[in-house]
Chains A and B, each alone.
Chain A
């Protein structure tokens, strides 16, 4: 190194001192901007391509599911090709596993149940009222007597408990049949995984309260009430399950129009069947939305199948399917309004409702996507054990 020569210095002003350097900076910035837009466009196109593969697989799987609906399990696996998509249908437990393989895209899998038939069309409608002639009972969804005979009884489940005093709190004469209420701690009490149908051998009460009664439901549940259903407060569902209350008349009681609202049959009140009144004085098959002196309005996140008479003591919004044998009877001072919102309906063609008979030919249920390998790989091998 020559004596006196120092290290080469790069003053900062060189970075912006020359028009050429400034232009280079500006061009670089423009290139960056263009690159960002280019990458965004490529990503959008790739996203659309991936989605098109998924929808294409779904179209093909849906067609294959309906194609094999009537095929016996012995003829599975079944393969078909449609529009460049190979679909393979295999038996998986009691249902179907469909693998759709679109050309140039990854395979997608779907699961579907094999259904014995369709649910009653009324379960897909917000409100159905049976015509009085020729036979109103025949127009209601038919309860599966064999399933009900082997269903869980309310006494066997922690959700329900017998309450001998609840009826006297609301009606002077009480009731003759056993009364059941929902357990106050039911949000902590899960139902066994196999429970989809419960039979209440008496009346069922949703007691009045400030907050709605919240029911945790992971799967669809039908509660068959062999008596009356009394709803004193709003009812909400936590989870994807749908709840249906079915009130049935039985040998011990008949449905009737409680014109005086005293909770028991009085002389002159007509029965639903048009026959002389018989059985327990509170009747059976009736549903009371609202209880005397409680609540301005109700929101019920469940469906109602009412074989007897629906009584309204307040306005009510019902989210599930409402199926009535007779037009509702208004017991409220100011006219009450029943509003069926249809927010929690069934898809009758592709679903069945627990505890009700299905109609028509066997078919495939709704398609449910099976998570891809990346999702499966993230599942823990063993469930986490609580610390001791």
Chain B
């Protein structure tokens, strides 16, 4: 192979590597963000399930539900009196859309 051919091959290899690394970094960054968001959503769902658990001691006061706004598309949670106790209720977010 000529000297020019070798140089072309090497620069092609470098470009391929660079593009591959950049694409991988971009995909990994997006995937990491998506995994983090999913994990945060799961933690919020854990907390909602803990609030749903019957027998939960609410004498210390009702916890604020603001952190769950938009957890369920376009909805927010609110306390509502029903029958013998309080129950979690879903209401549309005032803005009307999912954040």
User: Which A residues fall within an 8 A CB radius of B?
Assistant: 18-20, 22-24, 26-27, 30-31, 33-35, 37-38, 40-42, 44-45, 47-48, 51-52, 55-56, 58-60, 62-63, 66-67, 69-70, 82-85, 118, 124, 345, 347-350, 360-361, 363-364, 366
Contact = CB atoms under 8 A, between A and B. Distances in A.
A197 B87 CA distance: 32
In terms of DSSP, what is the predominant structure of the interface of chain B? helix
Contact of B28 (A34, A118, A361): A34
A347 to B, nearest CB: 4
Given A22-B13, A33-B24, A58-B49, A83 B32 contact: no
Nearest to B43: A48
Nearest to B1: A18
Contacts of A24: 13, 16
Interface residues of B, number: 47
Contact of B31 (A31, A41, A70): A41
Interface string B11-35: 0111011011101100110111011
A26 B83 contact: no
A58 B34 contact: no
Given A37-B28, A41-B31, A51-B45, A30 B20 contact: yes
B82 interface: yes
Given A44-B35, A67-B82, A350-B54, A37 B91 contact: no
10 contacts: A26-B16, A26-B20, A31-B20, A34-B23, A41-B34, A48-B38, A58-B52, A62-B52, A63-B89, A361-B84
A69 B83 contact: yes
A55 B24 CA distance: 35
A334 B78 CA distance: 53
A84 B73 contact: yes
B2 to A, nearest CB: 14
A23 B48 contact: no
B79 to A, nearest CB: 11
A70 B89 contact: no
B24 to A, nearest CB: 4
Contact of A37 (B27, B83, B85, B87): B27
A20 B31 contact: no
A31 B83 contact: no
Contacts of B52: 55, 58-59, 62
B72 A41 contact: no
Contacts of A70: 83
A23 B55 contact: no
Given A19-B10, A48-B45, A366-B54, 18 more contacts: A19-B9, A24-B13, A30-B21, A37-B32, A41-B35, A55-B49, A55-B72, A59-B77, A59-B88, A63-B88, A83-B75, A83-B90, A83-B92, A85-B90, A118-B84, A348-B55, A361-B84, A363-B84
B24 A30 contact: yes
A367 to B, nearest CB: 8
Given A62-B88, A69-B84, A363-B83, A44 B39 contact: yes
Nearest to B17: A23
A45 B83 contact: no
Contacts of A69: 82-84
A38 B42 contact: no
Contacts of B73: 84
B32 A30 contact: no
B84 A38 contact: no
B85 A66 contact: yes
Interface in B55-99: 55, 71-75, 77, 80, 82-85, 87-92
A28 B41 CA distance: 33
B90 to A, nearest CB: 3
A364 B37 CA distance: 35
A166 to B, nearest CB: 38
Contact of A41 (B20, B38, B87, B91): B38
Contacts of B77: 59
B90 A82 contact: yes
A124 B57 CA distance: 10
A-B complex: 6 closest residue pairs judged by Cβ atoms: A83-B90, A27-B20, A23-B13, A347-B55, A41-B31, A44-B38
B89 to A, nearest CB: 6
Contacts of A364: 83
Given A48-B38, A59-B77, A20 B84 contact: no
A126 B58 CA distance: 17
B90 A44 contact: no
